[in-house]
């Protein structure tokens, strides 16, 4: 079937920061997915780097509102093409504000692809404990919430076992070690191939990785190197095996955090954005803040 394939990988809490290896993990570590695809690592002094059909560039996450950007409003802006921070009057998170749920119902990227009658898919799997939580609380992240509003069915352990979805930590390790699931730990390379295979079957696929924000807040220090190495090789394999003539890859974030390890809070740094593949140049030319991502999808399709 002839279709455009869009694969969006969301990394929570990743900004473009100072060129300082004492503070910025991107200069302390040589991330393979950046170093082997670009001539240099982006910084506040030089926030735009590019190579053939691949761009890394900044997105404004503050969006004219005082205070530190937060996930609830940032992710709502990203998904819905609005300035959710300005609409609310302040930054809010980690979950979407109750007054903005209609935006996620009606204006999200998932809602757009549903209205267009295109295939869309949220590639994360969730354990039983998460579904038990849903029975008691409506505090749900923006991506899972907007997917459910668009009548998407969240993946469970069954889809993870079949290779039809990924765990939040990529390699199944926490499902095995913390939750006691009988699963095989998979390599970042296999996880990347699975996600690319899923993307080939759909018009729009989104995968959410939130542990970058957790690490930036100083949580799970014992997993710091392990998780970052897994993420790095996963993204490297995605970029290595991407079909650049057919698929558009977007790696985006909602606000800064992990790029400044001297503090344990979010930052006002611009959010990290990588675009590669078929429509990469359009996203590079048109996206200036979080709300522009959805607008570019509308330019392409509407």
Task: Parse the chain into domains and list their residue ranges.
Answer: 5-58+118-265
Question: By percentage, how much of the chain surpasses pLDDT 90?
Answer: 95
Mean pLDDT computed over every residue of the chain: 97
Query: Could you report the per-residue pLDDT of 82-117, keeping only the tens digit for each?
Result: 999 999 999 999 999 999 999 999 999 999 999 999
Name the least confident of 136-140, 173-177, 234-238, 246-250. Answer: 136-140
Asked if pLDDT for residue 126 goes beyond 60, the answer is yes
Predicted pLDDT of residue 1? 44
Predicted pLDDT of residue 219? 82
Predicted pLDDT of residue 2? 59
pTM for the complete prediction? Answer: 0.97
Question: By percentage, how much of the chain surpasses pLDDT 70?
Answer: 99
Peptide bond before residue 94 is cis, with ω within 30 degrees of 0: yes
Mean pLDDT throughout 234-241? 98
Query: Could you report the per-residue pLDDT of 239-285, keeping only the tens digit for each?
Result: 999 999 999 999 999 999 999 999 999 999 999 999 999 999 999 99
Query: Could you report the per-residue pLDDT of 220-230, keeping only the tens digit for each?
Result: 888 899 999 99
Predicted pLDDT of residue 221? 84
pLDDT bin (cut points 50, 70, 90) of residue 138 is confident
């Amino acid at each position: 079937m002839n279709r455009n394939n869009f694969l969006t990988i969301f990394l929570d809490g990743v900004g473009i920061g100072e060129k300082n290896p004492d503070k910025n993990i991107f200069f302390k570590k040589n991330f393979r997915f950046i170093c082997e695809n670009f001539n240099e690592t982006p910084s506040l002094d030089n926030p735009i780097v590019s190579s053939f059909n691949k761009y890394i560039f900044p997105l404004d996450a503050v969006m004219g509102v005082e205070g530190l950007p937060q996930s609830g409003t940032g992710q709502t802006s990203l998904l819905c093409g609005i300035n959710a921070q300005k609409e609310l009057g302040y930054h809010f998170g980690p979950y979407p504000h109750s007054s903005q749920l209609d935006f996620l119902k009606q204006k999200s990227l998932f809602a757009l692809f549903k209205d267009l009658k295109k295939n869309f898919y949220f590639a994360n799997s969730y354990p039983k404990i998460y579904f038990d939580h849903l029975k008691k609380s409506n505090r749900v992240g923006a991506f899972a919430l907007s997917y459910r509003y668009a009548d998407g069915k969240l993946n469970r352990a069954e889809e993870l076992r079949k290779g039809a979805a990924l765990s939040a930590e990529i390699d199944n390790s926490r499902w095995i070690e913390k939750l006691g699931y009988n699963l095989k730990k998979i390599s970042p390379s296999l996880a990347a191939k699975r996600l690319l295979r899923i993307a080939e079957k759909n018009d729009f696929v989104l995968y959410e990785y939130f542990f970058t924000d957790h690490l930036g807040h100083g949580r799970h220090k014992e997993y710091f190197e392990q998780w970052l190495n897994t993420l790095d090789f996963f993204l490297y394999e995605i970029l290595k095996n991407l079909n650049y003539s057919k698929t558009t890859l977007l790696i985006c974030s909602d606000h800064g955090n992990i790029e400044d390890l001297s503090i344990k809070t979010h930052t006002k740094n611009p959010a990290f954005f990588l675009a590669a593949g078929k429509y990469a140049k359009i996203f590079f030319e048109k996206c200036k803040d979080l709300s522009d991502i959805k607008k570019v999808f509308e330019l392409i399709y509407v």
